[in-house]
Structure 1
Amino acid sequence: MLGVGLLMLGNGLQGSLLGVRAAEESFGNTVTGLVMSAYFVGFLAGSTLTPRKLRDVGHIRVFAALASITSIAILVHVMFIDPWVWAAMRLMTGFAYAGLYVVTESWLNGHASNHLRGRLLAFYMVISYLGMGGGQLLLNVADPSGILLFLIVSILMSLALVPILLSYTPQPDTSQPEAMNLLRLYRLSPLGTLGCLLTGIANGTVFGMGAVFAANHGLETHQIAAFMGAFILGGALFQWPLGKLSDKTDRQWVILIVAALATAFSLAGLLFDQGASHALTLLGVLLGGTTLTLYSLFLACANDVLTPQQTVSASSSLVLALGIGAILGPLSTGLLMDLLGSAGFLWDLALIHALIVVFGGYCLWRYPNQPSDTHGHYVAVPAGTASLGATWVEEAADDPVQLDLELMEADEESSLEEGPASAAEPGRS
């Protein structure tokens, strides 16, 4: 988590830094959108190739290699101020970050039980967004037209290697992964899979063109940093309560409500005047609290129906879906902003989340009986263990060896307290 936090701190800084610097270099909205979209083209390759390397060398080595690539790529940006070079480096950075997400999310899902998955992924996203939010604030440390901010990004990427290389955390077993392509994953979890695609468009829009939108809306550099920081802070603040809520109720309902709120907030932002920095900062908190929380909810929704052997391949496919969508985000927003001005950014977000609402409503109608609390395993236990409760059974079911040991201990305790007849009586919870 510490390594991820440092990586996202650097990623948050470089996203806004490149957007502001591209505007200073007069790249133009469409060209800037193309440059930023190259990041997500690299995402596609990274999400596809990473699982193979995970099987060969393991999670830690892959993480270290990919983080090194990001540290190198940001330095090339400042050496060559050219849209084509920047697009190539953004492609490399996207390749590396896709792999880093696959490593991290497969690692987390490999250890998570269904009734804790939403909260665990929410904590992961909180760390990510706090890192990215802090990165926005680092934009104020130096002039974006200089080289210092580029050097800071490279240092942060390199520092992210230290905690992961020194970690004693056991890696997931990737020796016999089960294939899980997008089509099969969609059949298992249509909302989780298509949702990652659509939220990829929204995330690409926010992180690729958010700073450009703020600059076009009349905000100055420190106000742009405040807007993007507020956006990401909102995502961090709402991750945990929404993740916890989704663990206790139907995740589909939570997703539907959050997407509906994001649509409403995007449309409300169209009413703000040019240069209204305080209003835009407040909007950033509200949009961040809805737009940026959906990815972890879609991840949890999809992983609820998977086995441990499927998590690496499924994480790769979900990151692939995210990358496909994210390619369209900066590109579509750049075109809309050329047609509609800065309002094109908000129209893009509104349309994306309206689609999520429509498809979420379809899934609620088509697959109405999939609350997340029904995904736990059925377990037959002796009657003497009934007092342990359903929560204990769901936790133990995720570890069969531990379950057997605890059932034996509970059975022995039951025999001592209630006698052999009671201990032998079958039952189930």
Structure 2
Amino acid sequence: MSTTSSSKNSTFVPVAGLSVFALASGYLMSLIPLSLPSFGLEISLAPWLASVFYLGLLLGATGIEPVVAKIGHRISFILFLAALLSTILLMIALPSAEVWMLARLLAGIAVAGVFVVVESWLLMTDSAKQRAKRLGLYMTSLYGGTAIGQLGIGQFGTQGLLPYTLVCILIATAILPPLLVKKGQPAAMEHQKIAWRDVKNLSRPAIMGCLVSGLTMGPIYGMLPIYIKNQTGNETQTGLLMAMVILGGMMVQPLVSYLSTRMSKSLLMALFCLLGAASVFMLVTANDNITMAIGYSLLGASTFALYPVAITLACDSMSTSKIVAATQFMLLSYSLGSVAGPMLASVFKDMQFSLLMYLGICLASTCIYMLIKSFKAPRDQQPLAT
């Protein structure tokens, strides 16, 4: 079996493609719920579109590994981006609730492919320190692009075909790096599946971290734009505050990379959850725009930090040949949370500060769980046999 060479496994193609994809994704995630009335669709469709998207992410996470193993990372990247582009064209062509639900389901499958390809592309290195550094670069590119994409709401609006046309152009541009640069993908190797006995050996805090990341990120992506718009009554301010959420997530990534190799990852996730619970309290009591901006940026920093810490914790116990399968399993956990998150958050819809109350409960309870796990004696984790 061949091993992955870090020198041949370049970061340029996945990071370049991901950065442009993130611009489109950032704009699209707020565009979809806010543009529903302009297409004659009910605003109540928003949480269902969010959940069905993450259902697609869940379905995709169960079947990506064989595709990557068969055709390689570069061609897989092109394929999944092209599939995502086709779903948006379908939404534009046939604006109905049924078609949009189907399109978002397929989009979730395609995005699952993008995430597994890029994450495994970057994580297929033998050094834990290098993995943390590369994942920090990945998350910074993803969240930085997503934050900038949010600004499109105020710049280009949410009505009509123009915003969706711009999203399509960006996704088509994201295809160019893997299409034009044919070198730098991970060396061909046998990607082993994770057996059930290996799943039992995966870190429970890692699985829980990915699950809670989904439980919080699903509602943030699918429902927070509507919550903020109802709170402020202004689309431009909605875009700016959503950008603050994503910017908070982006700015914390270097700190995540630095701390994840220097302290218990369970304790680190507990601290970020505590920060998130504090940010919810700040937002509930906020009386001015500056406090709201700080609160939303801290909320983004806390929730967006969970996934990279959790996935590096999971990969610490994996051999290189099982990294694709490990990232796929962690994405599966994230997707389960993301499917349930918008529906669970809807239970709080009649409460004051509905969405914030849901996020606060998720983060506070997870903080307690991670603290309990971090106080237990750490178990030595060796790479699983190949």
TM-score normalised to structure 2 length: 0.90
Asked if 1:347 is matched to 2:357, the reply is yes
Deviation at 1:359, TM superposition (A): 2.0
Aligned to 2:114: 100
In 1, Cα distance between equivalents of 2:149 and 2:257? 24
Question: Is structure 2 residue 23 aligned with structure 1 residue 9?
Answer: yes
User: Match of 2:280?
Assistant: 266
Provide the C-alpha distance between the structure 2 equivalents of 1:142 and 1:84, rounded to a whole number of angstroms.
27
1:70-120 deviation digits (Å, cap 9, x = unpaired): 112112223333222211111111110001111111111112511232222
Query: Using the alignment, how far apart are the partners of 1:182 and 1:9 within structure 2?
Result: 37
**1:357 aligned partner, one-letter code:** C
CA contact (8 A) 1:196 1:322 kept: yes
Cα distance in 2 for partners of 1:95, 1:336 equals 28
1:328 maps to which of 337, 340, 343: 340
Among 42, 45, 49, the residue aligned to 1:27 = 42
1:87 aligns with 2:97: no
Q: Quick one: structure 1 residues 367 and 197, their matched pair in 2 at CA, closer, same or farther if it must change by over 3 Å?
A: farther
Percent of aligned positions with the same letter in both sequences? 24
Letter in 2 for 1:109: L
2:327 aligned with 1:312: no
1:284 to 266, 280, 296: 296
Q: Please, which of 218, 226, 234 is the counterpart of residue 212 of structure 1?
A: 226
1:235 is the counterpart of 2:249: yes
Give the aligned residue type for 2:47: G
- Structure 1 residues 117-148: Cα deviation after superposition (integer angstroms, max 9, x where no partner): 22221111000001101110112232311110
Asked if the contact 1:112/1:120 (under 8 Å) is kept, the reply is no
User: CA 1:259–1:146 in structure 2 vs 1: closer, same or farther (change >3 Å)?
Assistant: same
- DSSP 3-state at the match of 2:261: helix
- Within 2, Cα distance between the matches of 1:326 and 1:173? 32
Cα distance in 1 for partners of 2:329, 2:309 equals 16
Q: Within 2, Cα distance between the matches of 1:278 and 1:11?
A: 26
User: Cα RMSD between the aligned structures?
Assistant: 2.1
Alignment-derived partner of residue 408 in structure 1: none
Supply the distance in 1 between the matched residues of 2:330 and 2:235 (Cα, whole angstroms): 34
339, 347, 368: which one aligns with 2:378: 368
Q: Deviation at 1:163?
A: 0.7
**Computing the radius of gyration over CA atoms, which structure comes out larger, 1 or 2?**
1
- By how many angstroms is 1:38 displaced? 0.8
1:28 to partner: Cα distance: 3.5
The residue number in structure 2 matching 1:404 is none
Q: 5+ residue gaps in structure 1?
A: 377-429
Shift of 1:285: 1.0
| Counterpart residue number, 1:426 | none
Shift of 1:153: 0.5
CA contact (8 A) 1:54 1:174 kept: no
Larger mean Cα displacement after TM superposition, 16-25 or 145-154: 16-25
Shift of 1:243: 1.5
- Asked whether the 8 Å contact 1:42–1:95 carries over to 2, the reply is yes
Q: CA deviation digits over 1:194-220, x for unaligned, max 9? A: 210111111111111110111121331
The structure whose RCO (Cα within 8 Å, separation 6+) is larger is: 2
Partner of 1:379: none
Count of aligned positions? 369
- CA-to-aligned-CA distance 1:354-402 (integer Å, 9 cap, x gap): 23212212321334366xxx979xxxxxxxxxxxxxxxxxxxxxxxxxx
Report if aligned partners of 1:33, 1:330 keep a CA contact under 8 Å in 2. Answer: yes
TM superposition shift of 1:244: 0.7
The normalised TM-score by structure 1 is: 0.81
CA deviation digits over 1:169-195, x for unaligned, max 9?
433356422222677335321111121
Cα distance in structure 1, aligned partners of 2:198 and 2:96:
41
Does 1:358 find its partner at 2:358?
no
* Offset, 1:249: 2.2
Code of the aligned partner of 1:303: C
Distance 1:267 1:49, change over 3 A: same
CA distance 1:283–1:87, shift in 2 (3 Å): same
In 1, the alpha carbon distance for the partners of 2:37 and 2:376 equals 46
3-state DSSP class of the match of 2:99? helix
* Cα separation, partners in 2 of 1:321 and 1:183, compared to 1, 3 Å: farther
* Residue of structure 2 in register with 1:423 after alignment: none
Asked if structure 1 preserves the Cα contact closer than 8 Å seen for 2:249 and 2:302, the reply is: yes
Runs of 4+ in 1 over 6 A off after TM superposition: none
Structure 1 residues 395-416: Cα deviation after superposition (integer angstroms, max 9, x where no partner): xxxxxxxxxxxxxxxxxxxxxx
Give the SS at the match of 2:252: helix
SS for the counterpart of 1:217 is helix
Partners of 1:188 and 1:222 lie apart in 2 by 43
